[in-house]
């Protein structure tokens, strides 16, 4: 997929070569878009110093229970099991594009799926390929469960950009989600919301300048939890 060379897309695809980032910086000696013109880890902005993030540091996951009254991770109740929810880039699509083309669909199960551990699945009576629903304060996702020993207990993920138009049944009527009742289950982003850190609002300071979708390196819009529940296997499209 050709891209336009820019501060974000700093590769060169001339001559039919594959994209590789920072090609123009390394091969053509173009300075990096930083105050020093070089790659560096230390950021001396006053806000970064105040937050203790001048250098890369570990920040634990947000306390979604304390912040938004979500159930505790690991809790098992009448609504299902509560787990951390991740959305990695898709395994069966081209970059982050939807996978609803015949070539991609033949490589996967052909519809939306959520990977979960054997232990979490056993807690709510879910077998591989069962229909499940993931629910939190942001929305509802309907998908099939991929039960795998490779998934750690307490964490699920749904690959990025699974199209909601292919093989997605309607949300089960349980009475507690009146605004979603009868609608189709959402895509991976239905359960996430962007949460802005103060450091995201730094402006006019070389690389520390806001640009939609390109100010990082945090991914806290993915720092979500959700409750997974087994649904009736009688689905309606």
Residue-wise pLDDT for 72-105, tens only, equals 999 999 889 999 999 888 777 766 677 777 777 7
What tokens were used for 18?
């594959």
Name the residue with higher pLDDT: 154 or 210. 154
Residue-wise pLDDT for 23-34, tens only, equals 889 998 999 888
Q: Are strands 80-86 and 155-157 parallel, antiparallel or unpaired?
A: parallel
Q: What is the largest CA-CA distance in the chain?
A: 61
Residue-wise pLDDT for 147-157, tens only, equals 999 999 999 99
Single pTM value for the model: 0.82
Burial class (CB in 10 A: 0-12, 13-18, 19+), 153: middle
* End-to-end Cα distance, the chain: 34
CA distance 143 to 119: 18
| Number of CB atoms found within 10 A of residue 57's CB | 8
Would you say how long the chain is, in residues? Answer: 237
């Amino acid at each position: 997929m050709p891209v336009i060379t820019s501060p974000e897309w700093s590769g060169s695809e001339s001559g039919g070569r594959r994209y590789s980032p920072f090609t123009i910086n390394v091969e053509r000696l173009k300075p990096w878009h930083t105050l020093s013109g070089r790659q560096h880890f230390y950021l001396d902005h006053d806000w970064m110093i105040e937050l203790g993030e001048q250098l890369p540091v570990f920040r634990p996951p947000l306390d979604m229970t304390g912040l938004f009254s979500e159930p505790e991770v690991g809790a098992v109740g009448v609504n299902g099991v509560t787990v951390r929810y991740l959305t990695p880039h898709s395994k069966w699509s081209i970059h982050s594009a939807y996978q609803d083309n015949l070539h991609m669909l033949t490589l996967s199960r052909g519809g939306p799926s959520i990977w979960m551990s054997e232990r979490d699945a056993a807690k709510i009576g879910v077998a591989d390929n069962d229909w499940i629903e993931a629910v939190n304060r942001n929305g509802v996702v309907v998908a099939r469960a991929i039960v795998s020993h490779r998934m750690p207990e307490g964490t699920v993920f749904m690959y990025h950009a699974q199209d909601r138009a292919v093989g997605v049944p309607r949300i089960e009527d349980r009475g507690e989600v009146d605004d979603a009742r009868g609608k189709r289950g959402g895509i991976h982003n239905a359960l996430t919301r962007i949460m802005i850190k103060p450091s995201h609002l730094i402006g006019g300071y070389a690389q520390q300048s806001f640009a939609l979708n390109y100010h990082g390196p945090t991914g806290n819009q993915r720092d979500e939890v959700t409750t997974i529940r087994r649904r009736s296997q009688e689905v309606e499209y």
